């Protein structure tokens, strides 16, 4: 019981104690993931070979791998990749600025929240993917319509999570700032923002995945660039192995985006439980 | 500079109403109270007696419905606005330590100084000084969640003392701690109080804690909250834990307990 000791109180435990256990925990997926992945590929190979599935329906893993390696060497494919990345990140950036900004405001201004809420919910319940043709009509077959679809999809979870985060600020913490005569800006900068940050990052995590979905769906329906376009083109050419390669490519991109947010979490909110919990 | 005859805190006909016109709650009837400089005053009473309301009004967290509140001779409220000069003489400690989980212990303690614009090196030096005073040196870079409840409360006391207010207001600061830690913290608080010579107003519902710590006990009774009696506690300082087993101590505890059961 350290509280009963006279000051100065006994030393804190060495930091290595907790760290070692954590490394052990986080090392586990690095072993299990390749094993499970290898098993899945083996099942796939077995199934295709055993039941003589047509390569048009389901190519063998080796063929897909080869197609993907070829894709990685193709400047055209990298161009499409870049277009998708650009549409995703730009759309996500708009969603972050508008979602966080509006979220902070509606969390603090009650009447504005009441006024805007029906419309915010409306933008959420409308199946936005169904609006993609409309965006194409309005913004053309170029990158703009993809950016907008990505932004529209990513916006809502960022907004709601930000608003919830700002509203969840502990009353006791508010009392502290009140007793310290903090200004409104100080309350925002030193209390509301850091307190809401874990929530906001959750919004980012959902938002970035939706942004990439938005960009790809946008590419499905219009234009001649991006991984979505590439996938449809390969499908139409019955190049199924190539299509699977594009699919793998998209998935890896999604993983990279998602884990970037996870890394951001470890940097921005190392104090929060969510930074220690993986996946 | 305030002269010594002037009370650190003065309540003049301070009154508090809560709720709506249809369902008003009289939290505190008009109350007069003076707390001299360097006194350790304890507000004691059953729940609903308005002790926390009174403390939060003194701390500027809620505005009195009527009456005048003077901190070191200066009005705390003017036209619905809290006065910064009076407020800067007040340090508050809450039942929960209310440390910010995203700040290390040293940054938590230095937070008030950061808000006042102190440069980082200077405010951390001050935080370290207070960590030695409150007995938590060595935990500077720890997160609040890594500390025990008692340790966190020490950090909260250090934070309240960081800008050297003349008055320390404590709202059941040890209410969430286990009995052993609580007793140790009472001793620590007495030591810190004797070293820093602050005026302390502490709210508790523990009779033994009140008698052990207080120069004077203000007993409050509920519905509406009002001062029932004011009891001086004559024991010399520093008080040792053994004091609690003396007949004199027990006698005061008995008196308070009897009165408390009458008014609750």
Read off the tokens for A87.
């549409």
Predicted pLDDT of residue B192? 86
Q: Which CATH number fits domain A60-275: 1.10.10.10, 1.10.3720.10, 1.20.810.10, 3.10.450.50?
A: 1.10.3720.10
Residue of B nearest to A176 (CA): B98
Are B137 and A7 within 8 A, CB to CB? yes
pLDDT at A19 over 80: no
Are B146 and A11 within 8 A, CB to CB? no
Predicted pLDDT of residue A5? 45
Chain B residues within an 8 Å CB radius of A197 = 102
Chain A residues within an 8 Å CB radius of B114 = 190
Determine the Cα–Cα distance for residues A216 and B159; give it in Å rounded to an integer. 52
Look up residue A187 and give its DSSP letter. I
Encode pLDDT of A219-251 as tens digits.
988 778 889 999 999 888 888 999 999 999 999
Q: Calculate the alpha carbon distances from A36 to A122, A251, A256, B10 in Å.
A: 41, 17, 20, 72
Predicted pLDDT of residue A14? 59
Predicted pLDDT of residue A279? 43
Burial profile A216-254: b = 16 or more Cβ within 10 angstroms, e = fewer: bbbbbbbbebbbbbbbbebeeeebbbbbbbbeebbeebb
Burial profile B222-260: b = 16 or more Cβ within 10 angstroms, e = fewer: bebbbbbeebebebeeebeeeebeeeebeebbeebeebb
Chain B residues within an 8 Å CB radius of A4 = 180-181, 184
Encode pLDDT of A75-94 as tens digits.
988 999 999 999 999 999 99
Mean pLDDT of A45-64: 89
CA distance A191 to chain B (A): 8
Are A176 and B185 within 8 A, CB to CB? no
Are B181 and A178 within 8 A, CB to CB? no
Q: Are B253 and B235 in contact (CB under 8 A)?
A: no
pLDDT band at B65 (very low <50, low <70, confident <90, very high): confident
pLDDT band at B261 (very low <50, low <70, confident <90, very high): confident
Runs of H (alpha helix) within A109-142: 110-125, 132-139
Q: Are B156 and B174 in contact (CB under 8 A)?
A: no
Encode pLDDT of B151-166 as tens digits.
899 999 999 999 989 9
Mean pLDDT of A248-262: 91
Are B112 and A271 within 8 A, CB to CB? no
Where does residue B135 rank: exposed (0-12), middle (13-18), buried (19+ CB within 10 A)? buried
Q: Are A194 and A181 in contact (CB under 8 A)?
A: no
Are A179 and B61 within 8 A, CB to CB? yes
pLDDT at A24 over 60: no
pLDDT band at A2 (very low <50, low <70, confident <90, very high): very low
- The pTM (predicted TM-score) of the whole model is 0.80
Determine the Cα–Cα distance for residues A120 and A124; give it in Å rounded to an integer. 6
Predicted pLDDT of residue B112? 94
Give the E-state strand segments of chain B in sequence order: 9-19, 24-35, 40-44, 66-71, 74-75, 77-78, 81-82, 90-93, 167-171, 199-204, 216-221, 226-232
Are B151 and A182 within 8 A, CB to CB? no
Mean pLDDT, chain B, integer? 88
Q: Calculate the alpha carbon distances from A168 to A173, A262, B93, B143, B212 in Å.
A: 11, 22, 22, 20, 38
Encode pLDDT of B107-129 as tens digits.
999 999 999 989 999 999 999 98
Worst-scoring range by mean pLDDT, A80-89, A124-133, B233-242? A124-133
pLDDT at A209 over 80: yes
Helices and strands, number each (H, E), in chain A: 11, 0
Report the 10 Å Cβ neighbour count for A166: 23
Determine the Cα–Cα distance for residues B58 and B52; give it in Å rounded to an integer. 10
A·B CB contacts under 8 A: 90
Encode pLDDT of B185-227 as tens digits.
888 889 888 888 899 999 998 999 999 999 999 999 888 888 8
Predicted pLDDT of residue A10? 53
**Domains of chain A by residue range:** 25-54, 60-275
Determine the Cα–Cα distance for residues B123 and B264; give it in Å rounded to an integer. 46
pLDDT at B1 over 50: no
Chain B residues within an 8 Å CB radius of A5 = 135
Look up residue B225 and give its DSSP letter. B
Give the E-state strand segments of B139-252 in sequence order: 167-171, 199-204, 216-221, 226-232
> Which one of B87, B132, B143 has the shortest CB-CB distance to A181?
B87
CA distance A261 to chain B (A): 18
Chain A residues within an 8 Å CB radius of B164 = none
Predicted pLDDT of residue A247? 92
């Amino acid at each position: 019981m350290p509280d009963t000791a006279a000051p100065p109180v006994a030393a804190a435990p060495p930091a290595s104690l907790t760290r070692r256990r954590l490394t052990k925990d986080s090392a586990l997926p690095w072993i299990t993931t390749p094993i499970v992945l290898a098993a899945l590929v083996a099942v796939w190979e077995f199934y295709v070979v055993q039941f003589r599935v047509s390569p048009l329906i389901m190519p063998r893993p080796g063929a897909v791998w080869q197609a993907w390696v070829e894709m990685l060497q193709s400047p055209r494919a990298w161009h499409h990749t870049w277009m998708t990345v650009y549409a995703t990140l730009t759309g996500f950036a708009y969603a972050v600025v508008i979602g966080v900004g509006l979220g902070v405001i509606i969390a603090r201004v009650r009447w504005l929240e009441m006024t805007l809420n029906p419309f915010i919910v409306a933008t959420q319940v409308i199946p936005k993917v169904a609006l993609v043709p409309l965006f194409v009509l309005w913004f053309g077959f170029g990158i703009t319509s993809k950016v907008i679809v990505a932004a529209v999809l990513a916006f809502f979870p960022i907004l709601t999570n930000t608003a919830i985060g700002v509203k969840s600020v502990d009353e006791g913490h508010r009392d502290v700032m009140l007793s310290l005569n903090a200004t409104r800006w100080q309350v925002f900068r030193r209390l509301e923002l850091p307190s809401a940050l874990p929530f906001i990052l959750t919004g980012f995590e959902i938002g970035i995945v939706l942004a990439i979905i938005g960009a790809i769906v946008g590419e499905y329906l219009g234009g001649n660039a991006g991984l979505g376009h590439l996938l449809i083109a390969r499908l139409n050419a019955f190049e199924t192995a190539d299509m699977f390669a594009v699919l793998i490519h998209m998935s890896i991109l999604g993983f990279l985006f998602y884990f970037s947010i996870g890394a951001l979490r470890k940097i921005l909110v190392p104090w929060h439980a969510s930074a220690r919990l993986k996946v | 500079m305030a002269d010594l005859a002037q009370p650190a805190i003065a309540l003049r006909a301070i009154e508090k109403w809560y709720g709506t016109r249809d369902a008003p709650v009289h939290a505190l009837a008009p109350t007069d109270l003076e707390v001299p400089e360097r006194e350790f005053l304890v507000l004691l009473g059953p729940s609903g007696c308005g002790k926390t309301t009174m403390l939060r009004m003194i701390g500027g967290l809620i505005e009195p419905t009527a009456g005048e509140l003077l901190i070191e001779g200066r009005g705390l409220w003017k036209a619905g606005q809290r006065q910064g000069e009076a407020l800067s003489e007040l340090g508050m400690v809450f039942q929960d330590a209310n440390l910010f989980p995203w700040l290390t212990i040293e940054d938590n303690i230095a937070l008030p100084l950061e808000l006042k614009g102190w440069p980082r090196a200077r405010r951390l030096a001050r935080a370290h000084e207070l960590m030695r005073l409150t007995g938590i040196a060595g935990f500077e870079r720890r997160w609040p969640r890594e500390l025990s409840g008692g340790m966190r409360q020490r950090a909260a006391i250090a934070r309240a003392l960081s800008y050297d207010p003349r008055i320390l207001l404590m709202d059941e600061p040890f209410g969430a701690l286990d009995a052993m830690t609580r007793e140790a913290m009472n001793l620590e608080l007495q030591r810190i109080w004797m070293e820093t010579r602050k005026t302390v107003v502490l709210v508790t519902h523990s009779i033994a804690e009140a008698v052990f710590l207080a120069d004077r006990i203000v007993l409050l009774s509920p519905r509406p909250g009002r001062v029932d009696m004011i009891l001086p506690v004559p024991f010399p300082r520093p008080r040792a834990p053994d004091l609690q087993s003396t007949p004199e101590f027990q006698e005061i505890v008995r008196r308070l307990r009897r009165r408390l059961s009458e008014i609750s």
